[in-house]
Structure 1
Amino acid sequence: MELSAFETIADTTLGSYAEIIDEAIGDVADVDFQSGILTIELDSGGQYVINKQAPTRQVWVSSPVSGASHFTYEDGVWRATRSDDVLAEMLSKELTDKTGVTVAL
C-alpha cells in the first residue's frame, strides 16, 4: 500500500474511533487523538494506546486487556497480524466489557 493511502486510511479510522469512543464512554474515560495516536485512559484504570506505524503500514495497539497487537489493512478492515481479530471488533468488545457501556465501532 502506498504511504499516502495508508496515512489517509489510518487517520480516518483512528479519528472515527476517537469520536465514537468519546461519545460512548467519554464520561468514564479520557479519549485523545493527536498526531496519529489515539489514547484512551479509563477512569477505572487501564490505558489503550493505538498508533499508526508508517514504515510497516500497520496500526499498533497496546491494550490493558489483550496486550500488544499489530494490525494490517486487508479487505476493508484492520486485521491482526497474528490472529483473525479485527481491530474494531476487538476494541468494541474490550471497551464494552471494561466500562459496561456499549461501544460499537
Structure 2
Amino acid sequence: MEQLLDQLENLLDEAGDPEYEVEYSSGVLTLKLGRHGTYVINKQPPNKQIWLSSPFSGPKRYDYAKDGLGEQRDEWVYGRDGRAMGDLLNEELSRVFGREIDVGIREVSKLRT
C-alpha cells in the first residue's frame, strides 16, 4: 500500500488538479479523482485480501496469488477473471489521465506494505 500511495502521490503532483487527492489511513487508501469518482482500496489482513472499489469497474476482492496457471505470480488477483489489481488500475488510470500509467504493483511480496 505504501508503494501504491507513493506512486499515486507522484501522479497527482504531476497532474496538478486541485480536485485530485490521495490519502492513506488505517489500512484504507482513498483516491479522489474529481468528476471521475473515487477509488477506495482496503487491506483485509485476516483474509489476506485487498478490497477495491472502483468508480469504473465497481467492487472487487483481490487475493494474493504466488503462482498460477503454470506461471509465477506474486500479485493481487481477482478470482473471477484472474486479472491482477495492478493491471486494472493501470488501465483505468491511463484512461483518466490520457496517458500510459503504471502504478508499479508487481512482485508484491518485495514491496513495502
TM over 0.5: yes
Q: Contact (CA 8 Å) 2:39, 2:54: kept in 1 or not?
A: yes
Any stretches of 5+ residues in structure 1 without a counterpart? 1-13
- C-alpha separation between the residues in 2 aligned to 1:25 and 1:101? 13
- C-alpha separation between the residues in 2 aligned to 1:102 and 1:34? 28
Pair 45,84 (structure 1): closer, same or farther in 2 beyond 3 Å: same
- C-alpha separation between the residues in 1 aligned to 2:98 and 2:9? 14
TM-score by length of 1: 0.79
Aligned residues: 92
Q: 2:57 aligns with which of 51, 66, 69?
A: 66
Q: Contact (CA 8 Å) 2:23, 2:30: kept in 1 or not?
A: yes
| Code of the aligned partner of 2:50 | V
RMSD: 1.4
Kindly provide the CA deviation profile for residues 60-93 of structure 1, in whole angstroms up to 9, marking residues without a partner as x.
0000000000101112100112111101111111
Q: 1:49 aligns with which of 22, 29, 40?
A: 40
TM-score by length of 2: 0.74
Q: 2:5 aligns with which of 18, 38, 41?
A: 18
Any stretches of 5+ residues in structure 2 without a counterpart? 67-73, 104-113
Q: Measure how far apart 1:101 and its partner are.
A: 4.1
Aligned-partner SS, 1:55: helix
Moved over 6 A (4+): none
Aligned-partner SS, 2:23: strand
| Code of the aligned partner of 2:86 | A
Please say which structure displays the higher CA radius of gyration: 2
Q: Contact (CA 8 Å) 1:49, 1:61: kept in 2 or not?
A: yes
% identity of equivalent residues: 30
